[in-house]
Amino acid sequence: MQKAKIIFNPSSGRQLMQRRIDYLINLLVNDGYIVQKFDTQKKDDAMLETMKSCEEGWDFIIACGGDGTVNEVAKGIAKSERKIPVAILSAGTVNDFANHVGLPKNMDRFFQMIKDEKIIDVDLGKVNEQYFVNVAASGFLTSVGYQVQPEAKAIFGRMAYYIEGAMEIPKQSFHPMRVRFESEEYNKEEDIHLFLISNSASIGGFKRLAPDASISDGYLDVVIIKKSDVQDLAQIFISIFRGEHINHPNVSYFKSKRVVVESEEKTPIDVDGEYGGTLPAIFEVVPAGFKIFVP
């Protein structure tokens, strides 16, 4: 008889998510699973409950929330000696990682995925002492994710990010930052607008922002958008939809296992949509650091 811990962020997604979870609990209980649901209330609740679940002998976790919730669960797994698998149930505004992997949103298919017990190892990213499932980024517009209020996310969904982004553009005025990159593959100091260090191809709702990324290749994908005028920036962002931005002369794209990023400015880092400190920072991959259920 397997024991499943559901870790749910009530502020993620629409209110009907609670009814979907109740339906899933009924499916699990009727099939003989022992189920306990934990509602998060504040930052780090999901991480601490994950660590507790690993210690107490739960068989797997169902992480229900956005990328931030999944990040905390992954962080809890990474900090635990016992690595239990995670079923990710999309409930947030963007859910880049779940969308990239193609995880089911229908409760019957999600339940069947758990029953089938197909579990794979996926990489994690690490920046200093923090972990990320999907992406760490810094620069132009990357603060939008953690500046959007939970109430706005619940009401407006993904549009909340676009609204916040539109408000942020006049503040930043396309001001570039001077950054030094050090890795085996790329060593340069240059003026840039932003950089993204990703584990998956889908970032911020754009499905091909890191088009060659794989969650299990043992590498992180680095996208750097260099100093550009407004016209070039517009062209770069338009071509992101087709994954062709990496061919623009003002964009650098490479894979690496470890990247050191330094800047004299105290530039904030976004880690899976949450504030992750400031530069300088060391970004590195944790191969096969996380186990997930897949269809």
- Phi first, then psi: what are they for 177, rounded to 5°? -125, 150
Helix (H, G, I), strand (E, B) or coil at 233: helix
Return the structure tokens found at 212.
């060659």
End-to-end, the C-alpha distance of the chain in Å comes to 22
Side chain identity at 14, as an amino acid letter? Answer: R
Q: What one-character-per-residue DSSP string does 76-138 give?
A: HHHTSSS---EEEEE-SS--HHHHHHT---SHHHHHHHHHHT-EEEEEEEEETTEEESSEEEE
* 182, 185, 274, 284: the active-site residue: 274
Q: What is the rounded distance in angstroms from the CA atom of residue 38 to the CA atom of residue 295?
A: 24
In angstroms, the CA 15 to CA 9 distance is 11
Q: Judge whether 81 counts as a catalytic residue.
A: no
CB 46 within 8 A of CB 40: yes
- Strands 281-293 and 119-127 come out as antiparallel
User: Burial level of 69, CB count in 10 A (0-12/13-18/19+)?
Assistant: buried
Q: Which amino acid is at 105?
A: K
Q: Any idea which residues carry the catalytic annotation? A: 274
